[in-house]
Amino acid sequence: MYHYDDFDRAFVAERNAQFRAQVERRLDGSLTEEEFKPLRLMNGVYLQLHAYMLRVAIPYGTISTPQMRVLAELAERWDKGYGHFTTRQNIQYNWPKLVDIPDMLDRLGDVGMHAIQTSGNTIRNVTADHFAGAARDEVADPRPYAELLRQWSTDHPEFQFLPRKFKIAVTGAPNDRAVTRAHDIGLVLRERNGEIGFEVLIGGGLGRTPMIGKTVRDFLPVADLLPYCEAIVSVYNRLGRRDNKYKARIKITVHETGIDEMRRQIEASFAELRPLFDDTAMAALDRIKAQFALPSFLNGPTEIDLSDPVLRSFVDTNVTPHKRDDHAIVTISLKAHGRTPGDASAEQMRVMADLAERYAYGELRISHEQNVILPHVRRGDLAALHAALGAVGLGTANVGLASDIIACPGMDYCALATARSIPVAQQIAMRIDEMGIEHDIGALKIKISGCINACGHHHVGHIGILGLDRAGVENYQITLGGDGTERAAIGERAGPGFAYDEIVPAVERLVLAYLDVREDAGETFLDAYRRLGPAPFKAALYPEEKRDAA
């Protein structure tokens, strides 16, 4: 993985020193909160419901074992012993004291981490396929390009005050695990005539007005990546609306301007910018690529004993084929039934770091689905790894199943939330587990957001749940048929919302209805929804309407 050079280290150290001085000036009254707020946000510090929150960037979800141990140290020294992994592959600490945050940032800087541009109207943490470098289906590892984009976008002088935040995702595989179609810029690596390039999508996004991204270039040569992205963001910076924050994302700009006119302006800007970019970036890319070299793989068996049903179940759900037959990609579920999705204790973080060193060549990834990945595990080590994970509550075999729920922090923590997400996720997972039908249900993505901003990606959940405040009472809307993959779709609202104590039974009725109507066990919930449409699912959600109509 990428390791900071002297420039990176000096940049982060200088930024941390600046922020330490800014905190001191805020505390001694030299800075007002109005002056300080944009400064703290530029360094990932929010004021949430109960306390401050620090959001730390994990670029493209790739993290080393020393870094994971420092995340554990932060959780123990300055927080409440845990961290929350987010849908941007970041980690959030929910209880830091403002006076401690400069020390936390310095400690992060020791291992090449920071919180810069994890907030504010800037280009945020660039995300990538969490199986990058290991996936059997990938054209190329997307992380070197994501790192190049990170370096380009960090502290970019033109892009610190965009109309609104800006999110970029990169995938190197045709099976889109990075939700590229729901990003401001989605980059999909393609191979054409032996050359690697990008399909470039713009204008995707979730939130209040969900949109699927549109292709603005179907094949962009790698050498043009930075000037083309600079052209996109420059056009957005110029055209993006600053009069209404709810219409300020590029998805609205694309919608109002039209993709053809956006393309024309982007290409015109690109023609001006391209000559200004010399070969420096490509030379940097070569140096970056060298740091993403695959580990020296050890040979091992391709077939393993799966007679233990518990191990078999884990392998069925949490293990994905690797580009090498004798290795596997292991997803560690942070979704044990009844636990908070995406949370890991300091102890669990340390164990994951230890196991990554023992079994996975020291590599870890964070997925946007709030799980942790060991990308390179010898198949012969799977049984020992599974046993070690189980000892610290990390052996749950539910990846991709109904209890592998994305949930934002919701009103338990977030100042913007309109309802809780976490307890809804906990109760759905517990109920599904009690019913003993989770593995029978099979692939099902439930995603929960505690407000219209959609941090829980509910629009692209097969079952999406949106928590709202209806006249001072929590109320939950259900959407159906969403999909965050290469077949991206925005879920359709099923009907009236449900009260807090009605939402879990409603989801239960949905999954039971699916089991009734599916053609066979091979037809997933989403396939059944696409075949049948919403009618049988709505009938399950609203049985009284069906009765009234009879």
Partner 1 sequence: MSRRPFTPKVLTANLLREGDVVYLDATDAWVADLHRAELIEHEARAADRLAFAEAQSSRVVGAYLTDMKAGPNGPEPVHFREGFRATGPSNYPHGKQAGA
Where do contacts with partner 1 occur on this chain (CB under 8 A)?
26-29, 32-33, 47, 49-52, 80, 94-99, 340, 411-413, 420, 422-423, 426, 469, 472-474
User: What is the nearest approach in angstroms of partner 1 to the Cβ of residue 50?
Assistant: 5
Q: Which is nearer to partner 1, 469 or 527 (CB)?
A: 469
User: What is the nearest approach in angstroms of partner 1 to the Cβ of residue 135?
Assistant: 33
For residue 101, the surrounding DSSP H or E stretch is: helix 101-110
Which residue is listed with tokens 């200088």?
14
CA-nearest of 505, 519, 513, 504 to 534 is 513
User: What is the nearest approach in angstroms of partner 1 to the Cβ of residue 379?
Assistant: 36
Per-residue b or e along 459-480, where b marks 16 or more CB atoms closer than 10 Å to that residue's CB: bbbbbbbbbbeeeeebbbbbbb
Instruction: Let me know: does 198 contact 187? Beta carbons within 8 Å.
Output: yes
In this structure, what is the dihedral angle of CA atoms 360, 363, 366, 372, given to the nearest 10 degrees? 20
Distance of CA 390 to the CA centre of its chain: 25
User: What is the nearest approach in angstroms of partner 1 to the Cβ of residue 420?
Assistant: 6
Instruction: Let me know: does 329 contact 377? Beta carbons within 8 Å.
Output: yes
User: What is the nearest approach in angstroms of partner 1 to the Cβ of residue 251?
Assistant: 29
Q: Which is nearer to partner 1, 26 or 177 (CB)?
A: 26
Q: Which is nearer to partner 1, 442 or 467 (CB)?
A: 467
CA-angle at 406, arms to 317 and 400, nearest 5°: 15
Instruction: Let me know: does 219 contact 198? Beta carbons within 8 Å.
Output: yes
Length of the chain equals 550
User: What is the nearest approach in angstroms of partner 1 to the Cβ of residue 525?
Assistant: 26
d(CA 14, CA 297): 38
Q: Which is nearer to partner 1, 263 or 420 (CB)?
A: 420
d(CA 216, CA 199): 8
444: three-class secondary structure by DSSP:
coil
User: What is the nearest approach in angstroms of partner 1 to the Cβ of residue 504?
Assistant: 14
Q: Which is nearer to partner 1, 105 or 148 (CB)?
A: 105
Q: Which amino acid is at 317?
A: T
Extract the tokens encoding 467.
């928590």
d(CA 329, CA 333): 13
Strands (E), 158-268: 168-171, 185-192, 195-202, 214-221
Q: Which is nearer to partner 1, 100 or 527 (CB)?
A: 100
Per-residue b or e along 219-234, where b marks 16 or more CB atoms closer than 10 Å to that residue's CB: ebebebbbbbbbbbbb
User: What is the nearest approach in angstroms of partner 1 to the Cβ of residue 345?
Assistant: 11
User: What is the nearest approach in angstroms of partner 1 to the Cβ of residue 208?
Assistant: 20
d(CA 143, CA 132): 7
Q: Which is nearer to partner 1, 54 or 288 (CB)?
A: 54
User: What is the nearest approach in angstroms of partner 1 to the Cβ of residue 498?
Assistant: 16
Q: Which is nearer to partner 1, 215 or 427 (CB)?
A: 427
User: What is the nearest approach in angstroms of partner 1 to the Cβ of residue 87?
Assistant: 17
User: What is the nearest approach in angstroms of partner 1 to the Cβ of residue 332?
Assistant: 20
d(CA 21, CA 9): 18
Q: Which is nearer to partner 1, 98 or 387 (CB)?
A: 98
d(CA 190, CA 320): 22
Instruction: Let me know: does 183 contact 168? Beta carbons within 8 Å.
Output: yes
318: three-class secondary structure by DSSP:
helix
d(CA 85, CA 366): 7
Extract the tokens encoding 297.
């793989």
- Which strands sit side by side in the sheet containing 363-366, from one edge to the other? 62-64, 363-366, 372-378, 327-332, 319-321
Q: Which is nearer to partner 1, 424 or 540 (CB)?
A: 424
User: What is the nearest approach in angstroms of partner 1 to the Cβ of residue 455?
Assistant: 16
247: three-class secondary structure by DSSP:
helix
Q: Which is nearer to partner 1, 103 or 357 (CB)?
A: 103
Q: Which is nearer to partner 1, 24 or 158 (CB)?
A: 24
Q: Which is nearer to partner 1, 275 or 472 (CB)?
A: 472
